[in-house]
């Protein structure tokens, strides 16, 4: 993947936010220990653009992750805070295991075919992908559908907008209905948000997805009408019906959903008559997900994975980067736990736009965690009596969840599948826009939709 020529700059935190974090009290780490976390996030944002060839190797990503994460780990070892360390490492392992199981199972499902690239066919791809994203994960749904979509549109002249809207819908907004859909929501699930709670976001999901699909259909219809008749004839001549192979992997995906939904520490502790912190309740779900991933891999013919160009590189990239993220953000979370009640965040609008703005330029998973912990700390400090979910007021949790998931679509670096889809499209000859070229699309299309969603739902 070639480096982009334009260097983005992450927006600075507001002065009141920095002030609230720097005026210490309690046993929180000094503010300086947030710097490794900031360095980790900026590395993810900047290094792919200025040192793309070097960054492309997972070994180098791991080096950066260790440079940023190990100093914070050493600080917590020095403090003797083994509870935080063990909790963080277990949460990291659960996170990677879930993504690995989803990636392995979805990687064995092959969708082949070349349909007519009409606006109706394209919008159907986006609609189906937006629904699958919540149950296969945005990465799984994107990897399943992007190649057939590109193959279908290979005879068309105008197709960049199709990939851009695919990133909007399938790689981001579509994943907000379950904790499986997008990494931020799974981290919320690990922090006590019930599995089914995100189903309640269906109205916001339907509103945003609906508007985006209508806008896409209108734009694609205009561009389709501007293409030469010769391209339409060639498209009609090269038709291959859709076919699915590796269907048994849908059973493994269902197994992942059931495991995440029901094999919680609380349920297992109740069934076994033990405590949630006991080893068996804590690790049973992870062990089952590892087994599902192993069985999905062993039960799928190698040629099916070859057709999908399946490799372990993407999941190894996630494992390397998030090791640094989880380790380095321990200090930031500890500070927020101690001082989050002082942050100048008062309304769901504040949480939605600040969480979303940072998710666009950094990574939406750790950004979600930061503001989730801030909202929980503020509620605890204020002695909130309103409806709480995992210690967070429901309106604020809705705002944080939507901001992290939706605004990951604002830039290529907001969510992991964005760059993966861009790279695949460029390999297939699609000239994708630069970093800021993509943002012209996202600002013009997404920001008005998000303002409307804020006004209606928050």
Whole-number pLDDT of residue 5: 33
Whole-number pLDDT of residue 382: 78
Whole-number pLDDT of residue 24: 37
CA angle 368, 180, 130 (to 5 degrees): 95
115 vs 430 pLDDT, higher one = 430
1 vs 129 pLDDT, higher one = 129
Measured torsion, CA atoms of residues 319, 324, 330, 331, in degrees rounded to the nearest 10: -170
- pLDDT class of 77 with cuts at 50, 70, 90: very high
> How many residues in total does the chain contain?
458
Sequence spans of domains, the chain = 29-246+300-457
Mean pLDDT of 110-132: 87
- Digit-coded pLDDT (tens) for 352-372: 998 898 888 766 777 788 889
- Digit-coded pLDDT (tens) for 294-338: 999 999 999 888 887 787 887 788 788 889 988 998 888 888 777
Residue 68, number of CB atoms within 10 A of its CB: 25
Kindly tell me if the per-residue pLDDT of 1 is higher than 70.
Answer: no
- Give the containing element (helix H, strand E) for 411: none
* Least confident among 113-122, 130-139, 292-301, 433-442: 113-122
- Digit-coded pLDDT (tens) for 192-204: 899 889 999 999 9
- Digit-coded pLDDT (tens) for 272-291: 777 766 677 778 888 999 99
What are the residues whose beta carbons fall under 8 Å from the beta carbon of 349, sequence distance 6 or more? 399, 454, 458
256 vs 167 pLDDT, higher one = 167
What span, in angstroms and rounded, lies between the C-alpha atoms of 195 and 188? 9
- pLDDT class of 15 with cuts at 50, 70, 90: very low
Kindly tell me if the per-residue pLDDT of 226 is higher than 80.
Answer: yes
Residue 394, number of CB atoms within 10 A of its CB: 14
Of 24, 45, 27, residue with least CA distance to 366: 45
* Cross-strand partners of 393: 388
């Amino acid at each position: 993947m070639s480096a982009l020529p334009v260097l983005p700059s992450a927006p600075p935190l507001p002065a009141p936010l920095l002030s609230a974090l720097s005026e210490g009290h309690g046993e929180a780490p000094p503010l300086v220990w947030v710097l490794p976390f900031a360095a980790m996030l900026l590395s993810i944002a900047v290094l792919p653009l200025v040192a793309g060839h070097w960054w492309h190797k997972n070994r180098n990503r791991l080096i950066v992750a260790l440079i940023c994460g190990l100093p914070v780990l050493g600080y917590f070892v020095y403090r003797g805070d083994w509870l935080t360390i063990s909790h963080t490492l277990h949460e990291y392992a659960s996170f990677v295991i879930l993504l690995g199981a989803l990636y392995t199972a979805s990687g064995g499902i092959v969708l082949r075919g070349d349909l007519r690239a009409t606006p109706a066919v394209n919008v159907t791809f986006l609609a189906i992908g937006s629904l699958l994203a919540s149950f296969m994960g945005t990465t799984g749904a994107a990897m399943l559908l992007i190649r057939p979509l590109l193959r279908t549109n290979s005879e068309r002249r105008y197709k960049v907008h199709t990939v851009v809207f695919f990133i909007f819908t399938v790689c981001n907004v579509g994943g907000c209905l379950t904790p499986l859909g997008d990494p931020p929501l799974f981290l919320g699930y690990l922090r006590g948000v019930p599995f089914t709670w995100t189903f309640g976001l269906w109205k916001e999901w339907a509103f945003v997805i609906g508007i985006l699909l209508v806008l896409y259909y209108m734009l694609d219809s205009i561009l389709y009408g501007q293409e030469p008749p010769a391209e339409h004839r060639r498209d009609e001549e090269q038709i291959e019906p859709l076919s699915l192979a590796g269907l048994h992997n849908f059973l493994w995906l269902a197994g992942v959903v059931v495991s995440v939904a029901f094999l919680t520490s609380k349920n297992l502790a109740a069934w076994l008559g033990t405590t949630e912190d006991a080893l068996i309740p804590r690790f049973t779900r992870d062990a089952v997900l590892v087994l599902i991933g192993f069985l999905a891999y062993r039960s799928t013919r190698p040629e099916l994975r070859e057709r999908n160009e399946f490799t372990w590189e993407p999941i190894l990239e996630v494992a390397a980067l998030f090791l640094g993220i989880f380790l380095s953000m321990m200090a930031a979370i500890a500070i927020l736990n101690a001082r989050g009640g002082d942050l100048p965040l008062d309304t769901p609008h504040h949480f939605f736009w600040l969480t979303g703005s940072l998710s666009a330029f950094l990574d939406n998973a750790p950004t979600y965690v930061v503001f989730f912990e801030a909202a929980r700390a503020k509620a605890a400090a204020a002695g909130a009596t309103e409806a709480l979910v995992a210690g967070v007021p429901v309106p604020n949790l809705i705002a944080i969840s939507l901001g992290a998931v939706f605004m990951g679509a604002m830039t290529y670096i907001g969510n992991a599948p964005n760059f993966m889809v861009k790279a695949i499209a460029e390999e297939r000859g699609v000239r994708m826009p630069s970093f800021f070229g993509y943002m012209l699309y996202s600002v013009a299309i997404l920001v008005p939709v998000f303002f409307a969603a804020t006004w209606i739902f928050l």
